């Protein structure tokens, strides 16, 4: 019986399919997390669109042929918007929903700008209300938790210009380990 080569974390592959060059690599989560399985990313080197696939086998037990098999899952379709080539979501684990990378990133950018505008409108509205209630300043700060976890953004209002001591106290009370990640705004 032929012994297959064990897979190492630096294994990559480049190949041409349907006139397009692809590049595959192993994602770090494959070896970072026990029993995670093999996950690879495949890019169309022209558009840089990534897809990922999992294999229900611990990375430590994977062989080169397992990686090679995952590379066969690449199927392309025409982009829903521009008709360039895109990864087919029926065969690829991707959030691109049948869009090429350029169209996907363009939509992501438009969505992001709309979310930012909505947040700015809400903040302006809140600032106006609180100004009528006697507040004069707002700090927008990032809370970096002492015990780990995700950072979060908060707005804190003051009825006079806050001193560093006042700001540090508020940030400490909110559990931040970093006390200088903020901006002051006059209402």
Cβ atoms of 59 and 31 closer than 8 Å: yes
Structure tokens at 39: 């996950």
Distance CA 65, CA 58 (A): 14
pLDDT digits (tens, 9 = 90+) for 156-165: 999 999 999 9
pLDDT digits (tens, 9 = 90+) for 85-109: 888 888 777 778 888 888 998 999 9
Task: Please give the backbone phi and psi of residue 53, each rounded to the nearest 5 degrees, phi first.
Answer: -135, 145
Task: Please give the backbone phi and psi of residue 136, each rounded to the nearest 5 degrees, phi first.
Answer: -120, -20
Cβ atoms of 171 and 141 closer than 8 Å: yes
pTM over 0.75: no
Cβ atoms of 93 and 54 closer than 8 Å: yes
């Amino acid at each position: 019986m032929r012994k297959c080569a064990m897979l190492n974390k630096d294994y990559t592959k480049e190949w041409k399919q349907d006139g397009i060059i692809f590049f595959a690599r192993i994602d770090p989560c494959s070896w970072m997390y026990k029993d995670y399985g093999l996950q690879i990313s495949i890019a169309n080197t022209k558009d840089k669109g990534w897809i990922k696939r999992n294999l229900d086998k611990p990375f430590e037990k994977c062989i080169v042929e397992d990686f090679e098999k995952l590379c066969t899952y690449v199927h392309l379709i025409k982009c829903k918007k521009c008709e360039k080539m895109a990864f087919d979501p029926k065969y690829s684990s991707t959030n691109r929903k049948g869009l090429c990378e350029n169209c996907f990133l363009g939509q992501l950018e438009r969505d992001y700008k709309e979310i930012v505008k909505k947040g700015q409108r809400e903040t302006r509205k809140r600032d106006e209300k609180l100004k009528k209630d006697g507040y004069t300043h707002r700090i927008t700060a990032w809370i970096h938790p002492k015990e780990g976890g995700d950072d979060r953004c908060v707005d804190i209002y003051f009825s006079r210009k806050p001193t560093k001591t006042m700001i540090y106290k508020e940030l400490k009370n909110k559990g931040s380990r970093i006390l200088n990640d903020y901006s002051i705004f006059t209402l």
